[in-house]
Amino acid sequence: MQWLIDIIKEWIISEGCLTPAEMLEWITPVNVTGTLTPDATCTYFKAGTYNEKPYYRRADGAYFIWWFADANSWYITSVPGSEEEIFWIRMDPDIPGIYEPGGTASGTATVSMGYKYLCAGFIDRGDPTAFDFTTGDFTWDGNWHELDLSAIVPQNAKAVLFAAQFLHGGGGQHFKLRKHGNTNEKVISDITTQYINRVISPDLVVACDAGRKIDCWAGPGFPGTINLTVKGWWF
């Protein structure tokens, strides 16, 4: 990875696109980590200049890190330059460090600079207090049906990790998930009962479409008991 970064740096400087200092600033990402509510973790890239300092945009555009000169602070908000919804604050001229929660946010955000793509790829949703989908949310007719995750999963997510609990009064019963719009049943996540009335609790990974939708299949026949909860997602 580093050899590719070095080649890109050399080419950018040789073409006169940016000075060495400017180039380093533009291509160096900022990483936000921690157990946060709302979940503002992930990789941020420079989006421009605000108050004479660079500001950074998360990969999906949901959060920004920007400098508020009057308060001598860095803010993490959903809109750059907005003081109405301040999630985290760092009262220090340097951007890396610890950000304390503000407003309705919780958890301490740690901001660092550098390349951490492998660490930032998966976004942990946190600790939800209830199941997202239960038995009555599914149609138990042995056909594929759309399941909309857009109220939970952010834009630009590529795949979703679920925690599932499945119990059925019959053996050989199925509950399946696949990417919305697929027509075959080769790339699916399938829970199959081996014994009656025993809970199966696997983790399931499913690709989602641009609308954050997947397809689900349940039944046919009398319904079992299914609880499905989003654990996190990948960008």
Number of domains composing the chain: 2
Evaluate whether residue 4 is within a structural domain. no
Evaluate whether residue 7 is within a structural domain. no
Residue 8: predicted pLDDT:
56
In angstroms, rounded to a whole number, what is the distance separating the alpha carbons of residues 99 and 109?
5
Same domain, 83 and 37: yes
Same domain, 83 and 138: no
Peptide bond preceding 54 in cis form (omega within 30 of 0): no
Residue 142: predicted pLDDT:
92
Higher pLDDT, 189 or 26: 189
- Per-residue pLDDT, averaged over 164-169, amounts to 90
Residue 23 has pLDDT above 90, yes or no: no
Same domain, 79 and 139: no
Listed residue (115, 126, 155) closest to 41, CA to CA? 126
The domain boundary, picked from 53, 85, 120, lies at 120
Q: Around 58, how many Cα atoms within 13 Å sit in the side-chain half-sphere?
A: 26
- As a whole number of Å, the CA-based R_g of the chain is 22
pTM: 0.53
- Per-residue pLDDT, averaged over 101-111, amounts to 91
The domain boundary, picked from 120, 144, 164, lies at 120
Do residues 39 and 125 lie in contact, with contact meaning Cβ atoms separated by under 8 Å? yes
Q: How confident is the model at residue 139 (pLDDT cuts 50, 70, 90)?
A: very high
- Per-residue pLDDT, averaged over 21-28, amounts to 53
Same domain, 24 and 115: yes
Residue 222: predicted pLDDT:
78
The domain boundary, picked from 120, 151, 169, lies at 120
Evaluate whether residue 3 is within a structural domain. no
In angstroms, rounded to a whole number, what is the distance separating the alpha carbons of residues 158 and 206?
9
In angstroms, rounded to a whole number, what is the distance separating the alpha carbons of residues 208 and 27?
29
Same domain, 67 and 98: yes
Same domain, 94 and 140: no
Structural domain harbouring 109: 20-120
Q: What is the pLDDT of residues 184-204, one digit of tens each?
A: 999 999 998 888 888 889 999
- Per-residue pLDDT, averaged over 167-191, amounts to 91
Evaluate whether residue 144 is within a structural domain. yes
Higher pLDDT, 122 or 18: 122
3-state secondary structure of 214: strand
Kind and range of the H or E element at 213?
strand 213-218
Residue 18 has pLDDT above 50, yes or no: no
Same domain, 84 and 37: yes
Same domain, 159 and 196: yes
Residue 10 has pLDDT above 60, yes or no: no
What is the per-residue burial (b if ≥16 Cβ within 10 Å, else e) of 55-76? bbbbbeeebbbbbbeeeebbbb
Same domain, 177 and 144: yes
Check which CATH number belongs to the domain holding 145 and give it. 2.60.120
In angstroms, rounded to a whole number, what is the distance separating the alpha carbons of residues 10 and 230?
42
